[in-house]
Amino acid sequence: MDEKVEPFFDEVIRRNPGEVEFHQAVREVLTSIGPVLAKHPEFAEHKIIERICEPERQVIFRVPWQDDAGEVQIDRGFRVEFNSALGPYKGGLRFHPSVNLGIVKFLGFEQIFKNALTGMPIGGAKGGSNFNPRGRSDDEIMRFCQSFMTELYRHLGEYTDVPAGDIGVGQREIGFLFGQYKRITNRYESGVLTGKGIQWGGALVRTEATGYGTAFFAQEMLKVRGDSLDGKTVVVSGSGNVAVYAIQKVHQLGGTVVACSDSDGVVHDPKGIDLELLREIKEVRRGRVRHYAEQRPDATYVAGGNPWDIPCDVALPCATQNELTGKDAATLVRNGCIAVAEGANMPTTPEGMRTFAEADVAFGPGKAANAGGVATSALEMQQNASRDAWSFGRTEQRLAEIMADIHELCFATAEEYGMPGNYVAGSNIAGFQRVAQAMVSLGLI
Ligand code: GLU
């Protein structure tokens, strides 16, 4: 890290004790932006770093609800509205037992730059709860979502803050959340949430967008190197919404995904993952990847296994933060992996990133490679605002263009700053510059 930037980072640690994921996310961005400050002295003058590292607003609230047995449960809700220089706060809600303030802040901080890279008018935010949806009935999920929204609604609005899904929050949860928002406010304000069902204001391709976008980004990185996904062996971690549609797009682009995973284990299917079976298990039955292996004679399941031990040309980490370590990166490099695109948020540890950089692996960080989801959320907002509904083909075409533009911006920025091929630096610098310039224009707010 540039020595001029170090004191800012020390201050972030001092002010936010114990929030290790937040520190990690801030460190990654600050490490990249030394040269930007040298070029733009006005950013230091306007205290952009100090301001950008401090959320504009943080809301923490109690979420009381009753389970099916009539027992009262108390969870904690969060919304961190990090930066609204480019547009209304935008970012997902995560329901997972690991959620705490530090996790929400890391995600919200990343979201600022990711959203800036899309070129769409959206600020950065994140929220969620430590509520664990696993094993909960539809009724319990509904009661939880209603209680969560009963507090959160007062902070939202299509011009204020627009949540969407993330881990543990999909169309079902967005439905319950929207229903309660509509009831409390007496407004059919479609643009207040994205990831809605198609029949009630949702946009085609939103479900597929993050996974598709990650595959598009991998394809763009390979294209620059005179290569493509065609004929490649690919390993995807996770089996949620991002993973499923990354697999689908890789297959459409001629690659073969031979493995995916969940928090219990890994399935290896050398002939290629049967997407219809995986979708039926995950989306209809809400099952686990071991159920997939039970129905595929050629597939093997390893409980507690590591997807990165399986040899591949391309790796797409689509599960969660810090799931790909330095050791995993070394294994992937040894096995001949040439490209990594992050479908999840910050899935690769700093050591992992270093290992990939040293081995000249094309590495697309989440801010850039998984921005397709939130970009398509912005397209959903655009359709809601004009009371329009675009076709699947038109929306997917827009998504492909946006991902190609993000790739080009990160690539060109890395070149401009003398770090060719470094998408980490390229994405951090390009995202930071957009937000910083807007913040300077808006004055001290
Ligand atoms: N949670 C997703 C992300 O990490 C999507 C956010 C959104 O669509 O607002 O970008």
Among 377, 382, 402, name the best residue to mutate to test ligand 1's pocket (greatest count of ligand atoms within 8 A of Cβ): 377
Residue 1 lies in a domain: no
Gap from CA of 171 to ligand 1 centroid (Å): 13
**CATH at residue 119:** 3.40.50.10860
**Domain-located, residue 94:** yes
Ligand 1 centroid, distance to 421 Cα (angstroms): 26
For residue 294, tell me if it sits in a domain.
Answer: yes
Do 310 and 355 lie in one domain? The reply is: yes
Q: Residue 133 falls within a domain, yes or no?
A: yes
420 occurs within a structural domain = no
Residues 183 and 236 in one domain: no
Question: Among residues 364, 395, 413, which one ends one of the domains?
Answer: 364
377 lines ligand 1 (CB under 6 A): yes
Residue nearest to atom 8 of ligand 1 (CA): 374
The residues of the chain scoring below 70 in pLDDT are none
Same domain, 353 and 277: yes
Give the domain CATH number at 309. 3.40.50.720
Q: Give residue 92 CA to ligand 1 midpoint distance, Å.
A: 4
| Number of other CB atoms surrounding residue 339 within 10 Å | 24
Range of the domain at 243: 209-364
Residues 87/341/207/392 CA torsion (nearest 10 deg) = 90
User: Quick one: 151 and 13 in the same domain?
Assistant: yes
Q: Give the chain's length.
A: 445
Residues 216 and 183 in one domain: no
Q: Residue 1 has what pLDDT?
A: 87
428 in any annotated domain: no
What is the count of structural domains for the chain?
A: 2
Q: Are residues 221 and 84 in the same domain?
A: no
- 49 and 137 inside one domain: yes
Pocket test for ligand 1, best of 210, 212, 367 (most atoms within 8 A of CB): 210
Distance 399 CA to ligand 1 centre (A): 14
The finding on whether 93 has its CB within 6 A of some atom of ligand 1 is no
374 contacts 272 by C-beta, under 8 angstroms:
no
374 lines ligand 1 (CB under 6 A): yes
Pair (169, 265) in one structural domain: no
Q: Are 150 and 238 found together in one domain? A: no
Do 184 and 218 lie in one domain? The reply is no
Residue 10 lies in a domain: yes
Whole-number Å distance, alpha carbon 122 to ligand 1 midpoint, is 11
Q: Whose Cα sits closest to atom 10 in ligand 1?
A: 374
Report the catalytic residues: 126
Is 445 among the domain residues?
A: no
Per the CB < 8 A criterion, the answer to whether 327 and 309 are in contact is: no
In terms of domains, do 74 and 32 share one?
yes
CB 91 less than 6 A from any atom of ligand 1: yes
Q: Clarify whether residues 168 and 238 are in a common domain.
A: no
